Chain A
Amino acid sequence: MIKANSKPLGEVFGFIENCKKVLVLGCGGCATVCQVGGEKEVGVLAQALRLKAGTEGKQIEFLENTVTRQCEPEFVDPVVEGLGDVEAIVSTACGVGVNHLVERGCPVPVFPGVDTVFMGSTLEHGEWAERCAACGQCVLHLTGGICPIARCAKNLLNGPCGGTTEDGMCEISTPENPVPCAWAEIVERMKQLGTLQELGEIQPPKDWSTARDGGPRRRVRADLKLDRQEQKVQS
């Protein structure tokens, strides 16, 4: 899922310090799962902002709300329509949520309450790591299910660079931020699977046009669109 970090309180406060009424809007999806922007964290952030406003001598009212998912019109539209005299929104959803609120016609500024960092998995409670970079043409069948695009610092496709350390770490790894070498892991995994010889095959330059490099991406499922139109017609 998508992972994010809370922005520093001072930074968030700076966005809204001249407003009178602010909505702190959480998301029940990924932001809740990675414990950065769900109902609980919205409460904590709103309270912290209230205290900050108090110490700064500012009169700001903070409202709290958390929707099921900020990336879906059905959950966001009622919020946008019912803003009343709210002057700004601080969204604790990932960046998608902020964009989506704007896209759904939100009449007031929407500010990010979090820094969205990556798509990843939970290693253990309180620790997450990047696992996919959404390149648009998955190569995991070639690499033992370990992603060289998201997990190799140079997104190499033909095996490890010369920088892998003796204990299998990436050349950018530091004690504070340990980064395992994805290719050391790929080799190990494929050895286990008995498929190491497949890595002898040369992978040609990747077509990055399906990744972010090809421009903003959009996905259309004509079949689903058609279904929905039919449903509408029937009802």
Chain B
Amino acid sequence: MKSGSNLEKVLQAGHFALTAELGPPMGPSDEEIKQKMEILRGNADAFNITDCQTAVVRLSSIAAAIMLVQGGMEPVMQMTTRDRNRIAIQADILGAAAFGIKNCLCIAGDHQKFSAAGKLKGHPGAKNVYDVDSIQLVGILKKMRDEGLMEGGDPLDVAPRLFIGAAWTPMAHPLEFRVTRLAKKVAAGADFIQTQGIYDVERFAEIMVEVRNLGLHEKTAILGGVIVPKSAGMLRYMDSSVAGVSVPKALIKRMSAAGEAAGKDKKQARRNQSKEGIKIAVELIEQLRETEGVRGVHLQAIEWERAIPRIVEPAGLLPRPHV
């Protein structure tokens, strides 16, 4: 055991793992986090806490992750290299580990100019850090854990026990390099991988053949990403504007049809689409489960945590294993 985290144990015991996302609020509201925790409790093996996603300030991922630990739930603390240099990164990792946080997802993070894709003001004038990239971050954590050394070479008093994760966008341009990117993350020390949301499972399955040929699925645990669709509009937006996400036309049609079935009743149209979205998510989970080399799923219901229990139950993923 590298970390002894629940996620690590579930994977090691050979279970199909399940992680779900919990987005911290845009204010110091422990109430909101607690509410989300109660919605999600028991519905996944570990819960990703986003780190100022889309470069919008939110309650810090470390603080929210500590709240989860104290509330008896397991976090996957996300950490971007956008906002911290290697000094802050390592200090934060030690602090997180001291509070019992064991899983860390290493990402570059959205550029500050991205700021919620222009929906919020964000901080486009901020200075970014990018002292290291996500692969180097994985390497830093591995060095801390396995060698008990800081990046600069100084010894740590005690090595943190970490289960190290990385993100992977299998279908982003340039396609011919994406499997190499995964291979680099694995070589750097990624114990698990959470992929970008996948709607086109067929195309993903083709890429997984290449992944298996390189044996990468055995060196790391790949969790397929599922972003719960809320409406046809959201699917269209994801298809056209989110890098590395392509949504098959048939899925968009299905969602539109669900909405149209409500006639002029807009509320009902929204309800229909949410329902259809949940159904689609369940189907995606099933398809990913059948894809060889995929060892779990990572569920994201963005600002819609309530959807998670409604998905994992019909997907046959409950109860979560006790290991």
Contact between A154 and B130, CB atoms less than 8 A apart:
yes
* CA–CA, A27 and B28, complex, Å: 53
A138 interface hit (Cβ, 8 Å):
no
Instruction: Identify B184's interface contact among A155, A158, A162, CB under 8 A.
Output: A158
Chain B residues, CB < 8 A from A187: 174, 176-177
Once the chains bind, are B151 and A205 in contact (CB under 8 Å)? yes
- Asked if A139 is an interface residue, CB under 8 A from chain B, the answer is no
Name 17 A/B residue pairs within 8 A (Cβ), A-sorted.
A154-B128, A154-B130, A157-B133, A158-B133, A158-B181, A159-B181, A161-B134, A163-B244, A164-B243, A181-B173, A183-B174, A187-B174, A200-B184, A202-B135, A202-B187, A202-B188, A203-B136
Interface string of A127-169 (1 = CB under 8 A from B): 0000000000000000000000000011111111111111110
Q: Which of A163, A172, A206 has the most CB of B within 10 A?
A: A163
A205 and B168 CA atoms in complex are apart in Å by 20
Q: Are B136 and A204 in contact (CB under 8 A)?
A: yes
Q: How far is the CA of A56 from the CA of B243 in the complex (A)?
A: 52
B135 in contact with A171 (CB, 8 Å): no
Residue in A162, A166, A200, A204 whose beta carbon sits within 8 Å of that of B196 in the complex: A162
B184 touches A159 (CB 8 A): yes
Cα separation A75 to B303 with both chains bound (whole Å): 62
Chain B interface (Cβ < 8 Å from any Cβ of A):
81-82, 86, 108, 110-111, 113-114, 128, 130-136, 139-140, 151, 167-169, 172-174, 176-177, 180-181, 183-184, 187-188, 196, 243-244
**Which residue of B136, B151, B174, B176 contacts A157 across the interface (Cβ within 8 Å)?**
B136
Q: Is the CB of A171 within 8 A of B110?
A: yes
A58 at the interface (CB under 8 A from B): no
Q: Which of B128, B132, B181 contacts A160 (CB 8 A)?
A: B181
B-binding residues in A (CB < 8 A): 153-168, 170-172, 181, 183-184, 187-188, 191, 196, 199-200, 202-206, 208
Which residues on A sit within 8 Å (CB–CB) of B176?
187, 191, 196
Known: A154-B108, A205-B139. 11 other contacts (CB 8 A): A159-B184, A160-B173, A162-B196, A162-B243, A164-B172, A183-B177, A196-B176, A202-B184, A202-B187, A205-B131, A205-B151
Q: Contact check: which of A161, A200, A206 meets B108 at CB < 8 Å?
A: A161
Which residues in A have their C-beta under 8 angstroms from that of B111?
Answer: 153-154, 163, 170-172
